[in-house]
Amino acid sequence: MKKRWSERIGFLMLYLAGILVLFFLGVILFDIFIKGVGVLSWNFLTQPPRMGMTEGGIFPAIMGTFMVSIITVIFAVPLGMFAAIYLNEYAIPGKITRLIRLAIRNLSGVPSIVYGLFGVVLFVQMFRFGTSVLSAGLTLGLLTLPWTITACEEALKTVPKSYREGALALGATKWHAIRTNVLPYAIPGMMTGVILGLSRAAGETAPILFTGAAFFLPHLPKSLFDQFMALPYHLYILATQHHAIEKVRPIAYGTALVLLGLILLLNLSAIWVRYRYRQKMRG
């Protein structure tokens, strides 16, 4: 049967849509890479900015992002894990469970700037942490919490039911069964989710605008209550707030490349962990 014209045109459009999406991604990655790679050097990665950020490197911003991410993980991962264990292992289907799930889905849709507002009131003002690494890290922790919960729950779901039943049949209590027969097999899957959450947190700007990110800080934060520089915020400043925007454009490109590289690296390592884990489960 000959294909009709409408069918041909239709499928052509679908092809074009696929290609266009690839094209968007290609342009973003290509442009940042080509224009940013020239700035990259050992000094760029290890020096603080100098001469009003027109020269020097981005070392404090890299370290700031690193430190904030660690606080985010320390805060969000245990909480997310516990919540996931409750939802997957203990929760009985009912009103409260439905409500919790609804809340999680809605939390993941709350705009990041609203998390920023929440962080300002709760951590900066009420808890008196001030604008600091701690406040920003906790705010980002709240932001990544719904994703962490979902990822951990997915990981728990992949552990076969028979593992639990085997332990229970031998007389183990529920918690004992979870601890010895479920968690060890779910940890790699959880790791994947944690890394993905981390890559989200590292790239977020809006929540840290008012909770701790500093415009310019030549040294590293000395305590949890110091302000810090962060890669995404640094890029925002270089792109829009700097007094000599054209002059710092190369540095902005370099910063964007480092940020993008960091996030791609995190994503790739998540994929790698998942891949290894699947092979192990198979073997």
**By CB under 8 A, which span of 10-18, 161-169, 183-191, 272-280 interacts with another protein?**
10-18
Q: Indicate whether 24 belongs to the interface with another protein (CB under 8 A).
A: yes
* 275 forms part of the interface with another protein (CB under 8 A): no
Q: What is the DSSP string of the chain?
A: -PPPHHHHHHHHHHHHHHHHHHHHHHHHHHHHHHHHTTT--HHHHHS-EETTTTEE--HHHHHHHHHHHHHHHHHHHHHHHHHHHIIIIIPPSSHHHHHHHHHHHHHTTS-HHHHHHHHIIIIIIIS---SSHHHHHHHHHHHHHHHHHHHHHHHHHTS-HHHHHHHHHTT--HHHHIIIIIHHHHHHHHHHHHHHHHHHHHH--GGGTTTTB-S--SS--SSTTS-B--HHHHHHIIIII-TTHHHHHHHHHHHHHHHHHHHHHHHHHHHHHHHHHHHHHH-
> One symbol per residue from 167 to 196: x for binding another protein (CB under 8 A), - otherwise; what is it?
------xxx--------------------x
Q: Give the nearest distance from C-beta 189 to another protein in angstroms.
A: 17
Binding flag, residue 85, another protein (CB under 8 A): yes
Closest separation between CB of residue 85 and another protein, Å?
5
CB 104 to another protein: min, Å: 5
**Closest CB to another protein among residues 13, 45:** 13
118: contact with another protein by CB under 8 A = yes
Q: How far apart are CA 72 and CA 96, in angstroms?
A: 27
Whole-number CA gyration radius for the chain: 23
Regarding 18 and contact with another protein (CB under 8 A), the answer is yes
Question: At its nearest, how many Å lie between another protein and the CB of residue 233?
Answer: 8
Q: In this chain, which of 136, 214, 229, 260 binds another protein, going by CB under 8 A?
A: 260
Of 28 and 70, CB closest to another protein: 28
In the bound complex, what is the minimum distance in angstroms from residue 43's beta carbon to another protein? Answer: 22
Site for another protein in 47-66 (CB under 8 A): none
Total interface residues for another protein by CB under 8 A: 85
> Residues 6 or more apart from 120 whose CB is under 8 A from it?
210, 211
Single residue of 45, 169, 244, 264 touching another protein by CB under 8 A: 264
Supply the minimum distance, in Å, between the C-beta of residue 230 and another protein. 10
The stretch among 116-124, 159-167, 184-192, 275-283 that binds another protein (CB under 8 A) is: 116-124
